[in-house]
Amino acid sequence: MILEMPHERLIKSQLVQLILISRLFQAIEHVSMCLSKNDLDSLQGLVSHEALVEIKSSLSRFSVQQMTDLAVDKDDIYFCFPHEVGVMYDDEDG
């Protein structure tokens, strides 16, 4: 059994947090780009069918400029509070 020093656990915890934040930023960028192009097909499997129906209805009322403004570049995200990040799981998956 290998014992970890407290600072090693802290470093690992911070590394996991950085990876989570990086993946979160990538997801935000991907979803926002799809929305800005009205490419809802690319969101299949990432977003529930019910949400896609609602999103499609909402996007139909957006102007071209509003659609374009939905795009987010991950490099434009300055602040992130990992303790506020929640993960939702589909109850059907068990």
Q: What pLDDT sits at residue 86?
A: 60
Q: What pTM was computed for the model? A: 0.69
Q: What pLDDT sits at residue 56?
A: 94
At 17-46, the pLDDT tens digits run 788 888 888 988 999 999 999 999 999 998
Least reliable range by pLDDT among 7-16, 20-29, 45-54, 79-88: 79-88
- Eight-state DSSP code of residue 43: G
pLDDT band at 4 (very low <50, low <70, confident <90, very high): low
